[in-house]
């Protein structure tokens, strides 16, 4: 039986090695010069030695970074073989989208992302899309209801014309009108529907008000009658489309993917741990709704640009020879809003083309927080064991009363659920570090697993990169200071409502100290 994926040497290795040798010679020459020309005491010797120390340190750093650049590899997934071998007997997939603030992350864009994910070329009854809203905003919730209605037209349209990309915002921005008059009619109809929906969402966000008829005709809006704020509210879980409900179909009569809204509980006295906290709540909430063996997550600004990404990722997990070792499949972060000449290097070319591919030689790339497919089991702390057999059929397949499921799910998204548990440590994404994704991925490697980097010619995900120098510096500061939790929590807050969050942080630390003390007293 043929393999489901191939591994090849990436091109340009020889050229890179030649370049690296010249840099190495350069470093050696500089060091030689420093060592042989030390000035006399008093004539700047201390500064000279200081420079020597810095250059030695740089040289050492440069040498160790070569390990991630020396032998990059390329992966190729054979999705036709996957289809031939498995047909529709494929595992269920849970997709997590995180959003945090309807002002800086406009709901209409978040919804384009959600639609692109619902429209994957994958059996819809096996797809479950979850939106985590850390802003706890009724506007985002309203926008998701609009999306659920529009999906009934969008999904059949995508399937019928096999279009790419499947984010309506990106598709209508870049596609030409079709020539065939029948196709044109449908194209214009769907485009108008989409534009009207976007306008309704944008004007609701602007005015801060949800149309009354929406509130009357759809469930869930009463959650916002309690007078909570984005920082202080009860847990909210609403199943907007239940894929197991035979009545939930699109205009062609095909079932729709499950669609769930979650805003985990927020209280000023409890720390929320940013995206990692949201992801962990999603892992638990999804475990009572769909419990798929594969979990994929994206940032809300990263739409799916390639409708076959799920199938490609599965080529790695389901490969007979290697699949059982693979914990996660990471795709690169690509962006469509590069500044002219890419002056801040935001396209991340070195990371995407060289370093992640280079690490793939040594057991796999890092987990970079978005565009990644995980096994649910490894994300929940399982160590590698060569005799372990994944249950690809796992998942909740029978329909249950929706209210009961929602109530159960809410109890898993409270502030106190994680107290005295291993969540945020051994289970789920790790807390206490602004690059939670990277340390979570490393911890998975430490438990014996490998990972795979897949960078297909047609980008799998496309997002929005920082465009100004101050945004860029902020992001890089956060990334590079990942090890220094203290400082970086402060930096991260600069984007997410600076003052209040900082106050919460101080409060959190105080509560922690108190609970530590109590532990010793008991
Ligand atoms: O309290 C929070 C804060 C952020 N987010 C979401 O997390 C994602 C990433 O946040 P963003 O501010 O866009 O950070 P970036 O620097 O763009 O993110 C990059 O770097 C992060 C690590 O620093 C990774 O987690 C991300 O996946 C990666 O795209 C977004 O979808 C946010 O909505 C939350 O859900 N809750
Ligand atoms: Mn981002």
136 CB within 6 A, ligand 1 = no
Q: Which of 94, 242, 319, 437 is catalytic?
A: 437
Percentage of the chain beyond pLDDT 90 is 82
Q: Alpha-carbon distance 133 to 518, whole Å?
A: 33
Q: Per residue in 206-252, pLDDT tens?
A: 999 999 999 999 999 999 998 899 999 999 999 999 999 988 999 99
Q: Token digits for 469?
A: 């120098």
Alpha-carbon distances of 50 from 31, 37, 42, 44, 56, rounded to whole Å: 12, 14, 14, 10, 10
Give the closest ligand to the alpha carbon of residue 370: 1
Q: 63-72, 257-266, 501-510 — which is least confidently predicted?
A: 501-510
Mutate to test the pocket of ligand 1, among 107, 134, 275 (most ligand atoms within 8 A of CB): 275
**pLDDT tens digits along 13-36:** 999 999 999 999 999 999 999 999
Q: What is the pLDDT of residues 92-102, one digit of tens each?
A: 999 999 999 99
**Mean pLDDT, residues 347-375 taken together:** 95
For residues 461-470, give the mean pLDDT. Answer: 90
What pLDDT is recorded for position 277? Answer: 97
- Give CA–CA dist 452/322, Å, rounded: 10
**pLDDT score of 268:** 96
Question: How is the chain split into domains, by residue range?
Answer: 10-71, 93-309+370-440, 468-522
In angstroms, how far is the first alpha carbon of the chain from the final one?
A: 61
Chain centroid to CA 493: how far? 19
**Residue 134 known to be catalytic:** yes
- Nearest residue CA, atom 4 of ligand 1? 275
Query: Contacts by 210-217 with C-beta closer than 8 Å and gap 24+?
Result: 210/138, 210/139, 210/142, 211/142, 214/142, 214/145
Residue 337, pLDDT > 70, answer yes
Predicted confidence at residue 221, as pLDDT, reads 97
Residue 3 phi/psi, 5-degree rounding, is -70, 155
Tokens of 129: 């899309």
pLDDT band at 480 (very low <50, low <70, confident <90, very high): confident
Determine if ligand 1 sits within 6 Å of the CB of residue 395.
Answer: no
Say what the pLDDT of residue 518 is.
40
The full DSSP string for 224-287 is GGG--BTTBB--EEEEEE-TT-TT-B-TTS-B--EEEEEE--B-TTS---HHHHHHHHHHHHHH
- Contact present, 253 and 76 (Cβ < 8 Å): no
299 is in an annotated binding site: yes
* pLDDT given at position 515: 40
Q: Is 99 in the pocket of ligand 1 (CB under 6 A)?
A: yes
> Is residue 134 a known part of a binding site?
yes
Residue 223 Cβ inside 6 Å of ligand 1? The answer reads: no
496 lines ligand 1 (CB under 6 A): yes
- Catalytic residue (one of 133, 134, 242, 319): 134
**Nearest-atom index, ligand 1, CA of 97:** 31
Q: At what angle do helices 436-446 and 274-289 cross, to 10 degrees?
A: 60
Determine contact, residues 266/272, Cβ cutoff 8 Å. yes
Residue 103 has pLDDT above 80, yes or no: yes
Does the structure show a pLDDT above 80 at 495?
A: no
Q: Identify the burial level of 420 via C-beta atoms within 10 angstroms of its C-beta, where 0-12 means exposed, 13-18 middle and 19 or more buried.
A: exposed
Q: How far is residue 230's CA from residue 100's CA, in Å, rounded to a whole number?
A: 10
**Ligand nearest to C-alpha 98:** 1
> pTM for the full model?
0.90
Q: ipTM > 0.85?
A: yes
């Amino acid at each position: 039986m043929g393999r489901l994926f191939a591994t090849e040497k990436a091109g340009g290795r020889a050229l890179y090695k030649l370049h690296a040798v010249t840099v190495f010679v350069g470093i050696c020459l500089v060091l030689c010069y420093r060592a042989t020309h030390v000035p006399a005491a008093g004539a700047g010797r201390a500064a000279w030695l200081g420079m020597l120390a810095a250059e030695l340190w740089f040289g050492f750093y440069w040498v160790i970074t070569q390990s991630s650049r020396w032998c990059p590899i390329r992966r190729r997934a054979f999705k036709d073989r996957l289809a031939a071998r498995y047909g529709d007997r494929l595992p269920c997939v849970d997709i997590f989208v995180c959003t945090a603030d309807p002002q800086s992350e406009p709901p209409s864009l978040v919804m384009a992302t959600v639609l692109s994910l619902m429209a994957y070329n994958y059996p819809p009854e096996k797809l479950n899309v979850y939106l985590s809203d850390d802003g706890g905003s009724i506007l985002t919730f309203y926008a998701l209801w609009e999306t659920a209605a529009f999906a009934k037209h969008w999904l059949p349209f995508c399937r019928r014309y096999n279009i790419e990309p499947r984010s309506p915002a990106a598709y209508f921005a870049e596609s030409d009108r079709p020539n065939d008059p029948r196709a044109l009619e449908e194209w214009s109809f769907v485009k108008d529907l989409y534009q009207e929906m976007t306008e309704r969402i944008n004007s609701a966000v602007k005015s801060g008000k949800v149309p009354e008829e929406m509130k009357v005709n759809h469930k869930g809006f009463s959650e916002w009658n309690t007078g909570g704020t984005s920082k202080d509210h009860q847990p909210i879980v609403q199943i907007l489309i239940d894929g197991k409900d035979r009545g939930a179909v699109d205009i062609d009569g095909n079932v729709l993917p499950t669609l769930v809204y979650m805003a985990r509980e927020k209280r000023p006295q409890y720390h929320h741990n940013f995206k990692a906290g949201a992801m962990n709540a999603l892992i638990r909430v999804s475990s009572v709704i769909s419990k798929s063996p594969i979990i994929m997550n994206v940032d809300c600004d990263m739409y799916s640009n390639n409708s076959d990404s799920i199938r490609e990722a599965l080529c790695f997990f389901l490969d007979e020879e290697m699949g059982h070792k693979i914990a996660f499949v990471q795709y690169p972060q690509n962006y469509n809003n590069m500044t002219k000449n890419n002056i801040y290097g935001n396209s991340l070319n070195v990371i995407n083309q060289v370093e992640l591919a280079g690490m793939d030689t040594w057991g796999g790339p890092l987990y970079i927080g978005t565009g990644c497919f995980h096994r649910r089991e490894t994300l929940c702390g399982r160590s590698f064991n060569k005799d372990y057999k994944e249950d690809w059929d796992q998942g909740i397949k029978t329909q249950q009363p929706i209210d009961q499921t929602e109530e159960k799910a809410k109890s898993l998204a409270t502030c106190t659920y994680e107290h005295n548990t291993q969540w945020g440590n051994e289970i789920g994404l790790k807390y206490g570090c602004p690059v939670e994704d990277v340390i979570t991925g490393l911890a998975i490697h430490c438990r014996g697993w490998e990972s795979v980097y897949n960078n297909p010619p047609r980008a799998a995900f496309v997002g929005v990169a920082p465009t100004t120098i101050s945004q860029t510096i902020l992001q890089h500061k956060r990334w590079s200071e990942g090890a220094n939790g203290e400082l970086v929590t402060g930096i991260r807050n600069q984007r997410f409502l600076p003052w209040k969050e900082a106050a919460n942080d101080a409060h959190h630390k105080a509560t922690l100290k108190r609970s530590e003390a109590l532990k010793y007293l008991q």
